[in-house]
Chain A
Amino acid sequence: MDVVTLRASFSVSVDAACSSDVVGDDDNCCNYGPAGDSFICGEDCRWIKNIDDYISESSDQLVVLPTAPSS
């Protein structure tokens, strides 16, 4: 038996050093990594903030409503 492994690097690069790998990464469908849009890019690890991060930061702009308004 032989084994071949494909490894996701998650890398959606956002800096010039990496852009040649990723420009053109498409579309409207959040293909930015297997973990629902988180990503790692080499040693300079990046991650996309999610709503929990914004809530925990409690910005002056933010109002968290426990339930959505009914209208």
Chain B
Amino acid sequence: MLPNIIQVSDSRYCVVDGAHLHFLRGVKTTAEVDDFCRRCPQRVDDAGGGSRAVGRLSLFVTKRCNLRCVYCYADAGSETGDASVERACAAIKFIAGSADEVILDYHGGGEPTLRFDFVTETFDYARSLGRPVVVFFITNGTDSSPRVVRWITENVSVLCLSLDGPQEIHDALRPCLGGEGSYQRVVRFVQAMVEANKAFTARATITAANVTRMLEIIKHFKSLGIRRTIFEPCFNHGRTKDINVRPDPRTYAENFMEAFRFAHSEGLVLRTSAFRMPGTDYYCGTASGRNICLTVDGWLSSCYEVVSPTDEAGKDFFIGRIEGQKVYLFEDRVKRLRTLRPALYPSCGTCQYQPLCRGCCPIKNYREAGFAGVSWHLCEVSKALFPPMLEYLCEHPDACYNLWYNVSVESPFSGPSVGCGEARPQVGT
């Protein structure tokens, strides 16, 4: 596989070589770039094959929610229903199978803490299988009761909290079921996590209403003790399928860069799914077969955003079902999803940014443009963000630590090995 070349400016180029991103600075002629690529090892993404297998299962806990976020993709609360503990345990038993370790990902879209007994019962069951269990947990942060706080601080490894900004912004976007704001409740949860020295990521959904306030938001988060943030551009679906709340792509990019410069200067982590570590493989586990999500109704979905049997996308993204103790997998759907690779998208043509967007989010593409289509909006967000971000990283390579968790800066071709014990800049801790 040949390296991909991206021109950043007249004298700067970016070369994507597997999971390596090379910035070439002070380039005088394109022949220099060509020569670099000829010497490049032409690595491919590592697709696994290590010594320890991890089984990962995402669990949707309930359709109920105590908030009515204006943009909720799941339109949570419009339907009722809770997941079955027995069915979840059957799925856990299957996923654990021959795995050396298990990741349980308790997902939002329906608020997991509303059924905390489900969470603890399924976690205890997974642990009873005798393997290490790692918990990912997503919450709206409205429950800061001692029981919930204690369990999360003791058992959750990867915690994500939805918080959209200062009170005025957050309450407008994430009101409670009764219409009152939820900010004060969420801040109590933040305080509990900060006091417990529990690392977490605050996820702010960026809409047309708060897109120009990203710098203000991250400054506010810093004042609350939040060190890790993700600014996720909103998409029209679920509760907003008939109205437009998406941020303008160029405005999103400009304001993200302003906030990112602040994050870099303050040693904060600021991420966006619109700019992920480059690669040549799938955008996410939806197409690679590594997303296995159990919906409340017993479907196995390949995508976190396709969880309702009334969602038309289910006919492509539901890849199986749990019935009793049996796990049914639909082989044709699994194989079809594997075709979702950016190089195969006709509309991507020769776009130089393919190794950066990697085809972008399959379900958002699907909802806007059909199977193997490309979302105009996401594409515009990416194309607006890539040039300034690449330029900034080219100028400040250490800022990669503020954008990604798992990267290192090294010399080309012969850098240091990267491992757990390696010293890293202290950001986001």
B214-247 near A? 1/0 per residue, CB < 8 Å? 0000000000000110101000000000000000
Asked if A26 and B28 make an inter-chain contact with CB atoms under 8 angstroms apart, the answer reads no
Asked if B318 and A68 make an inter-chain contact with CB atoms under 8 angstroms apart, the answer reads yes
Known contacts A9-B419, A66-B331; A26 and B98 CB within 8 A of each other: no
Question: Does any Cβ of A come within 8 Å of B354's Cβ?
Answer: no
CA distance A23 to B135 in the complex (A): 10
Chain A 15-33 residues near chain B, CB threshold 8 A:
15, 17-33
CA distance A31 to B203 in the complex (A): 14
Which partner residue on chain B sits nearest A10 by CB separation? B406
Known contacts A7-B418, A30-B285, A37-B285; A12 and B406 CB within 8 A of each other: yes
Partner of B160, one of A5, A26, A68: A26
Asked if A6 and B420 make an inter-chain contact with CB atoms under 8 angstroms apart, the answer reads no
Known contacts A48-B56, A66-B331, A68-B333; A35 and B288 CB within 8 A of each other: yes
Q: List chain B positions with a Cβ less than 8 A from chain A.
A: 18-28, 32, 36, 45-56, 90, 93-95, 97-101, 103, 107-108, 132, 134, 138, 157-160, 199-201, 203, 227-228, 230, 232, 269, 271, 273, 276-279, 281-292, 304, 315, 318-319, 325-334, 361, 393-394, 397, 400, 404-412, 415, 418-421, 424, 428-429
CA distance A69 to B132 in the complex (A): 35
Instruction: Kindly list chain B residues whose C-beta atoms are within 8 Å of the C-beta of A27.
Output: 138, 160, 201, 203, 230, 232, 271, 273
Asked if B230 and A68 make an inter-chain contact with CB atoms under 8 angstroms apart, the answer reads no
A29-71 near B? 1/0 per residue, CB < 8 Å? 1111111111111111111111111110101011111111100
Which partner residue on chain A sits nearest B90 by CB separation? A61
Q: List chain A positions with a Cβ less than 8 A from chain B.
A: 1-15, 17-55, 57, 59, 61-69
Which partner residue on chain A sits nearest B290 by CB separation? A37
Q: In angstroms, how far is the closest chain B Cβ from the Cβ of A1?
A: 5
Q: List 24 A-B contacts (CB under 8 A).
A: A1-B28, A2-B24, A3-B25, A4-B22, A4-B394, A4-B397, A5-B410, A6-B407, A6-B408, A9-B408, A25-B158, A26-B203, A33-B277, A35-B281, A44-B420, A45-B50, A45-B51, A46-B53, A47-B47, A54-B95, A54-B97, A59-B97, A62-B329, A63-B328
